[in-house]
Amino acid sequence: MTKLSVNVNKIATLRNARGGNNPDLIQVTKDIERFGAQGITVHPRPDERHIRYTDVYDLKRIVTTEFNIEGYPSAEFMKLVTDVQPTQVTLVPDPPGVLTSNAGWEVREHFEFLRQIIDQLHDYGIRTSIFVDTNLQNIYAAKEVGTDRVELYTEPYAANYHTDRVGAVKPFAQAAKVAGEIGLALNAGHDLDLHNLAYLAQELPNLAEVSIGHALISDALYLGLEETVKRYLDCLK
């Protein structure tokens, strides 16, 4: 079964909107795990507009499932993740100030930089994943650069799912097949929701993990958090 890692950035966004500690990020994270999620994801950004660096240290103390930290590998980010030593670090090519991740790495263009970062993370025993699109050259280069996994950027799949789901999933299925053949484990994330998730998981049988935040937290406003986590897990069975 594909693991569900819940991105809790939106919980921190809501908390930060009013100051104080409501909602309580730590308690919500505990509840998400109690409801069956197999992982917790955070993506701290330099301006700390949602997850703060202090949150990451606090979450490390209470997360009992897989802990995945996403981000651009700046010096500050690398200090954070080597201090915390999560299960997995997902490297994304976000420049400072972007609203959300909106592209994967051009791996060969940044090959030496990524290789050095991945080697450093491996020295700490941290599993690495890099955010890529379905361009097969990026998949092959990801293997060469030494990462353990790739995370497929699924916004194009989500954008085209309702008009042509077969066509939308085809490049992702091909990329997944190649990743499996060359020994890369596979993650996916971005704009996945209760409508499009089950079909993606069905068509990518080697999908190890999905990371979902915005849609899941939005659905929880209507369905409740426990029921929402259950429905996302059902999509992955």
Structure token pair of residue 100: 């959300």
Structure token pair of residue 7: 């991105």
Question: How far apart are the two ends of the chain, measured CA to CA in Å?
Answer: 6
195 is catalytic: no
Catalytic residue among 33, 70, 151, 209: 70
Cα distances from 216 to residues 6, 10, 52, 56, 196, in angstroms, run 8, 10, 21, 20, 12
SS3 127: strand
122 is catalytic: no
How far is it, in rounded angstroms, from Cα 192 to Cα 200? 9
Catalytic residue among 33, 151, 190, 209: 190
43 is catalytic: yes
What is the DSSP code (8-state) at residue 5?
E
Catalytic residue among 33, 43, 50, 151: 43
| 46 prior amide bond cis, ω within 30 | no
- In sequence order, what DSSP letters do the residues of 61-118 get, joined into one string? HH--SEEEEEE---HHHHHHHHHH--SEEEE--PPTT-SS------TGGGHHHHHHHH
Dihedral angle of Cα 11, 13, 14, 16, to the nearest 10 degrees: 120
**Residues noted as catalytic:** 43, 70, 190
